[in-house]
Amino acid sequence: LGKYVITGGFRLEGSIRINGAKNACLPVLAATVLNKGISEIYDVTYLKDVEVMLEILNFLGAVVEREGYYIRIDTSNLSPKEIPEELMRKMRSSIFLMGPLITRFGKVRLSYPGGCDLGPRPIDLHLKGLRMMGANLTEEHGFIEAHCDKLKGCNIHLDFPSVGATENLMMAAALAQGVTVIRNAAKEPEIVDLQNFINNMGGSVTGAGTDTIKVVGVEKLNSVKHTVIPDRIVAGTYMVAAAITGGQVKLKNIILEHVEPIIAKLRESGCVIETNGDSLTVNGPKQIQSIDIIRTLPHPGFPTDMQAPIMALMSIANGTTMLTETIFENRFKHVDELRRMGADIKINGRAAVIKGVKSLTGAAVEAKDLRAGAALVIAGLAAEGTTIVDGAQHIERGYENIDKNLTSLGAHIKKID
Ligand code: UD1
């Protein structure tokens, strides 16, 4: 637990390195179950969600050694124990273990996952796909129990390009008998990273990054070395932080293609963004301009995880922004908090109309989920006076040392426990 105390009005200037992505790392860690051997993974960021995944792997019998951002996981001696509810509930991504565990052990029993509060977050697409591959699933008393002899490849058409379901099914298919084709698959960069990880273990996956992914099941997978891709959402968050303070910030270790959707919108808001190989520099304008329309969409559309941060930016823009959240039903928990800081935002269903105000004023606000929390920190950087963002534990699920990084760029932010 803890809070961030921010004094607004300081321009950000300097450079920081972007570390390995949470959303790439979590499925990769789950996939270490598949190789019954050693996985050496580089650029594993220190994040709460990563800790929970390691805790679960450890509970199942994995030997985990960590040195800085390098991690070595030996999954030779796992046992298919029931994962306790208390661990499963700590994080929604615990569901990623379902596919790897069924395919490795032919059985698994786990409790429904918990996770970020973004409205209903069903796992029906995960379960439907696993059933099509031959898993017998029963859902009772808050637990999901699965068993099967060997999963069989098949054609799966996802009703929605769910990131998690695509990843879970790729992992399940890696050791299945025969060929699995996932259509209407999610195309996020994290899915390409998982494909690379599985292939580096000796698997056979093609098509990640497009809407059709083909997995040819193999008999066994081997030990592997892998470097996690940089976090495009963390990068986007610091880009918006630079923009809102009219600052100049250089980000290192970026994959440009992954942040293009964010760059495009920030340029519309008046930022000048220079790119150079694996780095980019954001120059925030004196006055942020509103962006007529922002719609969150599956990749390569504008990411839903950047919706809250860009709303904070638009709240002090010159003009009105119409923002639609098309991915999650209930992802506007930051709106009331931004209003407390003087923002003029109206919500109608999945649409938000943001009328830019001259300035925000510091207030005591609460981070109710991860990205909502990041948005409030960003708002605090630009607000007059002091902003107190409660709920640091949500922010720490996805940002390592956000206070130290922002301080190194010239922000006035302190964490108090
Ligand atoms: C992942 C990301 C999260 C991001 C989201 C969308 C991770 C760990 N998290 O979450 O940061 O915001 O992608 O880019 O990678 N859905 C169903 N049934 C299912 C699964 C999903 O209806 O079985 C719906 C969800 O309710 C939601 C939409 O599909 O409305 C997108 O969800 P999904 O892509 O699965 O997101 P996550 O994988 O949970």
User: What confidence score (pLDDT) does residue 211 get?
Assistant: 97
Q: What is the DSSP letter of 92?
A: G
Mark whether 116 is an active-site residue.
yes
Helix 232-244 / helix 307-314 crossing angle, nearest 10 deg: 10
Determine which one of 25, 116, 148, 154 is catalytic: 116
Does any ligand 1 atom lie closer than 6 A to the CB of residue 327?
A: yes
Comparing CA positions, the residue from 334, 311, 317, 243 lying closest to residue 283 is 243
Does any ligand 1 atom lie closer than 6 A to the CB of residue 262?
A: no
Which residues, 6 or more positions from 276, have their beta carbon under 8 angstroms from its beta carbon?
A: none
User: What confidence score (pLDDT) does residue 91 get?
Assistant: 81
Residue closest via CA to ligand 1's atom 5 equals: 163
Residue closest via CA to ligand 1's atom 20 equals: 123
Does any ligand 1 atom lie closer than 6 A to the CB of residue 162?
A: yes
User: What confidence score (pLDDT) does residue 142 get?
Assistant: 79
Does any ligand 1 atom lie closer than 6 A to the CB of residue 163?
A: yes
Joined together, the tokens standing for residue 164 give: 């998690």
Residue closest via CA to ligand 1's atom 25 equals: 121
Residue closest via CA to ligand 1's atom 30 equals: 328
Which SS3 state, helix, strand or coil, does residue 377 take?
helix
In whole angstroms, give the CA distance from residue 240 to residue 262: 9
Does any ligand 1 atom lie closer than 6 A to the CB of residue 94?
A: no
Per the document, the length of the chain is 417
Does any ligand 1 atom lie closer than 6 A to the CB of residue 195?
A: no
Helix 307-314 / helix 333-340 crossing angle, nearest 10 deg: 30
Q: Is the pTM of this model over 0.95?
A: yes
Q: From the CA of 304, give the closest atom in ligand 1.
A: 12
Tell me the CA–centroid distance for residue 308 and ligand 1, in Å.
16
> What string of pLDDT tens digits covers the 417 residues of the chain?
899 999 999 999 999 999 999 999 999 999 999 999 999 999 999 998 999 999 999 999 999 999 999 999 999 999 988 888 888 888 888 889 999 999 999 999 888 876 555 555 689 999 999 999 999 999 888 788 999 989 999 999 999 999 999 999 999 999 999 999 999 999 999 999 999 999 999 999 999 999 999 999 999 999 999 999 999 999 999 999 999 999 999 999 999 999 999 999 999 999 999 999 999 999 999 999 999 999 999 999 999 999 999 999 999 999 999 999 999 988 999 999 999 999 999 999 999 999 999 999 999 999 999 999 999 999 999 999 999 999 999 999 999 999 999 999 999 999 998
Q: From the CA of 120, give the closest atom in ligand 1.
A: 26
* Strand pairing report for 70-74 and 38-42: antiparallel
In whole angstroms, give the CA distance from residue 386 to residue 294: 29
Q: From the CA of 233, give the closest atom in ligand 1.
A: 11
Tell me the CA–centroid distance for residue 163 and ligand 1, in Å.
5
User: What confidence score (pLDDT) does residue 141 get?
Assistant: 82
Question: Distance between terminal CA atoms of the chain?
Answer: 6
Tell me the CA–centroid distance for residue 127 and ligand 1, in Å.
14
The residue to mutate among 160, 182, 191, 324, having the most atoms of ligand 1 within 8 angstroms of its beta carbon, is 160
Which residues, 6 or more positions from 353, have their beta carbon under 8 angstroms from its beta carbon?
A: 320, 321, 322, 323, 345, 346
Residue closest via CA to ligand 1's atom 21 equals: 162
The residue to mutate among 28, 50, 162, having the most atoms of ligand 1 within 8 angstroms of its beta carbon, is 162
User: What confidence score (pLDDT) does residue 85 get?
Assistant: 84
Tell me the CA–centroid distance for residue 401 and ligand 1, in Å.
25
Comparing CA positions, the residue from 167, 149, 147, 146 lying closest to residue 158 is 167
Does any ligand 1 atom lie closer than 6 A to the CB of residue 160?
A: yes
User: What confidence score (pLDDT) does residue 111 get?
Assistant: 84
Does any ligand 1 atom lie closer than 6 A to the CB of residue 125?
A: yes
Which SS3 state, helix, strand or coil, does residue 290 take?
coil
User: What confidence score (pLDDT) does residue 150 get?
Assistant: 92
* Strand pairing report for 204-206 and 212-216: antiparallel
Q: From the CA of 22, give the closest atom in ligand 1.
A: 8
Asked if 1 and 411 touch (Cβ cutoff 8 Å), the reply is no
